[in-house]
Amino acid sequence: MQRIGRFEQTKPARLPDGPVLALASLLGREPSFMLKFVAKRLVSLIPTLLGVVTLVFFMIALTPGDPARIMLGERANAEQLAQLRAELGLDQPLVKQYGLYLSRVVRGDLGNSIISQQKITDELSERLPATIELALMATLFASILGIVLGVAAARKRNSWVDYTTMTGALVGVSMPVFWLALVLIMVFSIFLDLLPTGGRIDVRIYFKPITNFYLLDGLILMLKGEGTEVFVSALKHIILPTIALGTIPLAIIARTTRSSMLEVLKQDYVKTARAAGVKERKVVYRYALRNALLPVVTVIGIQFGLLLSGAILTETIFSWPGIGKWIYHAIGARDFPAVQGGILFISIFFVLINLTVDLLYSVINPRIRLK
């Protein structure tokens, strides 16, 4: 009896729309359902993460050639080589090396970089804010513009707006990112002299980072009444890398939004709303867009994960002091522990972001959970 009473309280008909309804039904009627779902996904994460660690380990361990020799160069003598091998644990049997590596990783120890002698985890966390800041900006740029263009293309299907947007999107995914970055520098930094060619902030500005997210730091300083200098400089520096990094996601998001929107606009409830005389703007933005955005959210999440990792080229070109540039230098310097640690870190990050996206998606789209 009580069950029925509770059910009536969360009567679906009174709730405004799909996502809220899904959430309400999850929290209200089946409190353990979501927990079970999350738990299941988290458990399935363990073998994946173990596989990632294993693959990263063996990728480096089975690299042809002697890492110690490669790191020290041809002129190193036998003694030096033996010492480095011992330091890296390379004189141990492979299985033992793997066991040691695994136990260190589990404890959150990725070892030290050969070049800087610093802890790799420290080096990574120092550079993480720069990478996240750029990836967030690029995702924001791509999402806003992508959704606007995608909706416009879908509303005016087969018009010049549609053709231009879709052709532009196709060109966007066909373009080499590093080339686009150079062309942007050529046009905006060299010919027009509007924006800087690289770095995160003007080197002449002295400032002590607070959060290490320079845009945020700039805002904080601005609110404290310490001038707009930091914010403006940080903003100017991030514009070109944002465009370069955000172009491919922009194209993908615009295409997804368009096709999803076209799909939704065909649905009966949209037709009904139109027939009932609801204003076209309201039909499109209030009713259709909400549902059309479901697949777009997933795409945005995946793209964000990719941007965090795929910024190697962009960061290198714009001398952006993030993880991508750091890994690139580690590869160039043959700093194997750093490469190993960097890849592992990014891959785990990537897996976790994808999981979050999956879970978020299942929250907003109940149909997925029912499968």
Q: Compute the radius of gyration of the chain from its Cα atoms.
A: 25
Min dist CB 62 to another protein, Å, is: 8
* Binding of another protein by 94 (CB under 8 A): no
Is the Cβ of residue 289 or residue 343 nearer to another protein in the bound state?
A: 343
Tell me which stretch binds another protein (CB under 8 A): 130-138, 233-241, 284-292, 306-314. 306-314
CA nearest neighbour of 141 among 254, 51, 43? 254
* Binding of another protein by 178 (CB under 8 A): yes
Q: Which residues of 211-248 are buried (b: 16+ CB within 10 A; e: fewer)?
A: ebbbbbbbbebeeeeeeebbbebbbebbbbbbbbbbbb
Is the Cβ of residue 328 or residue 361 nearer to another protein in the bound state?
A: 328
* Binding of another protein by 55 (CB under 8 A): yes
Q: Which of 20, 35, 82, 190 binds another protein (CB under 8 A)?
A: 190
**CA 303-307-312 angle, 5° bins:** 150
* Binding of another protein by 164 (CB under 8 A): no
Structure tokens at 56: 């990263």
* Binding of another protein by 176 (CB under 8 A): yes
* Binding of another protein by 83 (CB under 8 A): no
- Residue ranges of alpha helices (H) inside 224-365 are 229-265, 268-275, 280-282, 289-309, 312-317, 323-332, 336-364
Chain position carrying tokens 């990014």: 346
**CA 259-265-269 angle, 5° bins:** 145
Instruction: Say how far apart CA 340 and CA 67 lie, in whole Å.
Output: 12
Is the Cβ of residue 219 or residue 355 nearer to another protein in the bound state?
A: 355
Tell me which stretch binds another protein (CB under 8 A): 110-118, 119-127, 227-235, 252-260. 252-260
Mutual angle of helices 323-332 and 120-155, in 10-degree steps: 120
Tell me which stretch binds another protein (CB under 8 A): 32-40, 117-125, 130-138, 346-354. 346-354
Q: Which of 131, 254, 350, 357 binds another protein (CB under 8 A)?
A: 350
Instruction: Say how far apart CA 123 and CA 333 lie, in whole Å.
Output: 16
* Binding of another protein by 267 (CB under 8 A): no
Structure tokens at 166: 């879709």
Instruction: Say how far apart CA 34 and CA 238 lie, in whole Å.
Output: 39
Total residues contacting another protein by CB under 8 A comes to 46
* Binding of another protein by 337 (CB under 8 A): no
* Binding of another protein by 170 (CB under 8 A): yes
* Binding of another protein by 186 (CB under 8 A): yes
Residue type for 339, please? V
Q: Which of 90, 136, 177, 220 binds another protein (CB under 8 A)?
A: 177
Residue type for 168, please? G
Structure tokens at 47: 């073998």
* Binding of another protein by 21 (CB under 8 A): no
Q: Which of 42, 86, 182, 194 binds another protein (CB under 8 A)?
A: 182
Asked if 135 contacts 308 with a C-beta cutoff of 8 angstroms, the reply is: yes
* Binding of another protein by 179 (CB under 8 A): yes
Asked if 165 contacts 152 with a C-beta cutoff of 8 angstroms, the reply is: yes
Tell me which stretch binds another protein (CB under 8 A): 82-90, 122-130, 145-153, 341-349. 341-349
Under the rule (CB under 8 A), what is the footprint of another protein?
47-49, 51-52, 55, 59-60, 63-64, 170-171, 173-180, 182-183, 185-186, 190, 255-256, 259, 305-306, 309-310, 312-313, 316, 327-328, 331-332, 339, 343, 346-347, 350-351, 354
